[in-house]
Chains A and B, each alone.
Chain A
């Protein structure tokens, strides 16, 4: 059996029926139509109080049908693939074309297939019994690292999505997308004080992700820096230099500029970067990328959810705004090729421009020299959530841990502070870029209207001034 036939059989349709559905969807006109079939199985196990005492699996199945007329969208879905129900959904999506005249040309896409997430061991072939020892071993390893640990919560979750896409150009695209995630939270007690720390790993990998080396890696990381956390202070707040540590600091890029470069916000004139294409937006030598091609990365995609192959997109090249992040709608509107950023949470949603793995490429500076160059400031290296206001460009991100910098040295540890800045201003205030790009492989999820997995990365970077929350 060929690969394509596997997906056609899974969704119980044939090519003729796909063509008929597209014809129904375009019955009132429209410029483009596509079908997105999805069958996803989710699996999870939770260890608490020394026992893997809860878990489960979940199945989601359906097809989303979309009609585009210019930039206008008609969307409906069916949770089964009987022709009767799919035709109903196609007719509902077709309604957008009534009374609208299409004027945009949607272009076919070259198939440049790669496999950015080859799987050695399909998650679906293993039952819970296979993973329970991993979680209990992980818990024991974490406890063994620090006698102050009083609680450990460990979670394993995986999903496998079979996806088939067909569109009005006759392009049929099929693939299977794996995802595996491990997250651990440890609670530490020292005297009357309690602290907690979480570590997570997430990759588009199969069950080969589970390994003794991963246990050791997570256990080591979860106790790193916990002494500092017990004596961390809240700094005096205000404007100061901020050194962003390599790795998870990429959240700065995600919030400060990534969202503002998503082409839907720019097409509607809402982004602070709407009229800046080709303009200098940060100092020379800075390259900022959104990449769907990193092997096994959480944000990677052989194809996006419109059947466009994944690619590496330079949003900023040598400080100049080079490209927005496009889905088919915005690409058509701007007259460019889609960058493969049309993504969706599942078949219930229409795709919109979304980031994948967003990072800044390495510069030349030695990270130690960057810290030494700061007289008074703050070094930050662990983060949780962030947010941005697209029009104003104001962004924030929350720092779980870091250190004060005084006269070029790391001094008192700090924790639980928010940092706020303005996107264009922060970019122009980048004063040094380290040579140590690191991609963070935590369970980053972006929540713009829908939830999609992403990742981020950064070399050590000095931002001359941001506003840091703290005591007054």
Chain B
């Protein structure tokens, strides 16, 4: 009702078009430090975001002051400001036929857990206490536990999108997450930390978390790192961090980057620039999975569609503005739920014979460096040249031998992807970015 009132008021006062996003969210979290309650917090937000079109001009505005009189004054000032900006006729609302028509109650994708409404402080504290292993942890000769931090969070988000062309869409989701970070010290006084987390839209999927045990294992396995000589090695990247090598691709595929000549994937649409057999999908409409959504921030309907298919670039992310400006077919604004399919170099079809685990990929790769974390670094959006700090392990004959320290990888992202050896099938079900463990040949490591 509030959104429609705003549209009517803005239209009556000179707006040619308007889109309103109303959102409400609640987050409750509690943390423990070394087995004792450390922090409880409660937050509740409401806000309105206004996308305003007037006289061929455009602006975006937001406020969390939702009283009628204040909001009307806010809209009048917004219209006045938009009229001071430069004219740009490419700024329009999307064509009505592109809009989502199936997001009516916000729960179509089964991302809302009805049991959320029964949750209370006591039940959250119980989940938090179950996370902690600080007091039950057995003392070890090889290390001592310095600190354990656990966090349990429940959140609810409800977003309504409405525009002056009659579009109405709603998206509702809940999230239940657990996180633990462990810091340990070895016999020589060196410190190591490890963390682990789980997050699901449905509380039942979270189940009994082993975050503490896994985080501790991840810290302990780093004890005794060795310097390794720099050189060119095969690189395996653990699924938990593999998205770092995919995100620059999406930035480069954004039409805005291409229009601004800031993309290393300019002029790649429809061409095979990735290895044959490599397929990256946007699985935007998978029910019950993090990242799924029926419409993007413009209200445009999402779809399950290929971004890269068998090595060919099939899609630039082209919003309405960029579509008008570049005279290109409009798509969704950006990726929702990327899924990289299993791949083995030499197989022309996606690898479907069996599951490919991290262990399989290490075995296939033989010798090299397993990357389990990135430490800083960047990728030049224009050239694709990258340099990242890494942490991980050396492996030999498919088996991990020892942790490595202070290493960097440097190269060009397109060259890296064209040296793809394998992509697994081990992406964690709870995460939005379904990027499995990866293996690359001939990567430059400095040390």
A residues at B contact (CB < 8 Å): 45, 48, 51-62, 71-79, 89, 92-93, 95-96, 100, 127-129, 132, 150-151, 153, 185, 187, 189, 194-196, 234, 237-239, 255, 268-270, 272, 348, 350, 384-387, 389-392, 394-398, 415-422, 467-472
Instruction: Verify if B126 is at the interface (C-beta below 8 Å from A).
Output: no
Contact B84 A129 (CB under 8 A): yes
Contact flags B106-141 to A (C-beta < 8 A → 1, else 0): 000000000000000100000000000000000000
Stretch among B3-11, B279-287, B371-379, B421-429 lining the A interface? B371-379
Give Cα A468–Cα B193 distance, bound, in whole angstroms: 24
Chain B positions within 8 Å of A386 at CB level: 376
Interface assignment of B33: CB less than 8 Å from any CB of chain A: yes
Contacts A270-B183, A385-B378, A470-B446: A96 and B62 contacting too (C-beta < 8 A)? no
Distance (whole angstroms) from the CB of B21 to the closest CB of chain A = 13
Contact A396 B375 (CB under 8 A): yes
A387 touches B375 (CB 8 A): yes
**Chain B residues with Cβ under 8 A from A390's Cβ?**
193
Contact A238 B81 (CB under 8 A): no
23 CB contacts below 8 A, A to B, read: A45-B85, A48-B260, A51-B87, A52-B86, A56-B60, A61-B63, A72-B37, A127-B80, A196-B262, A238-B230, A238-B446, A350-B41, A391-B146, A392-B191, A394-B391, A398-B387, A416-B385, A416-B387, A418-B376, A418-B378, A467-B447, A469-B388, A472-B445
A472 in contact with B147 given A52-B85, A390-B193, A420-B406 (CB within 8 Å): no
Q: Would you list the 6 A-B pairs with minimal beta carbon distance, nearest first?
A: A237-B446, A396-B376, A387-B376, A51-B86, A391-B191, A469-B408
Q: How many residues of B contact A (CB 8 A)?
A: 72
Q: Do the beta carbons of A58 and B62 come within 8 Å of each other?
A: yes
- B393 contacts A by Cβ under 8 Å: no
| Given contacts A92-B42, A390-B193, A51 and B446 within 8 Å (CB-CB) | no
Q: Are A416 and B378 in contact (CB under 8 A)?
A: yes
Q: Are B378 and A55 in contact (CB under 8 A)?
A: no
Task: With A418-B389, A468-B446 given, name 12 new contacts (CB 8 A).
Answer: A53-B57, A53-B88, A56-B60, A57-B61, A60-B63, A76-B41, A127-B80, A127-B84, A268-B146, A270-B191, A398-B378, A469-B408
In angstroms, how far is the closest chain A Cβ from the Cβ of B55? 12
B 15-35 contacts with A by CB, 8 A: 33
Contacts of B77 in A (CB 8 A): 57
Which B68-96 residues have a C-beta within 8 angstroms of A? 74, 77-78, 80-81, 84-88, 91
Known A-B contacts A269-B183, A420-B389; the reply to A237 vs B408 at CB < 8 A is yes
Q: Are B183 and A391 in contact (CB under 8 A)?
A: yes
Question: B170-207: which have CB < 8 Å to A?
Answer: 183, 190-193
- Bound form: Cα–Cα A384–B377 in Å: 9
Kindly state the separation between the CA atoms of A166 and B387 in the bound complex, as whole angstroms.
47
B146 pairs with A75, CB closer than 8 A? no
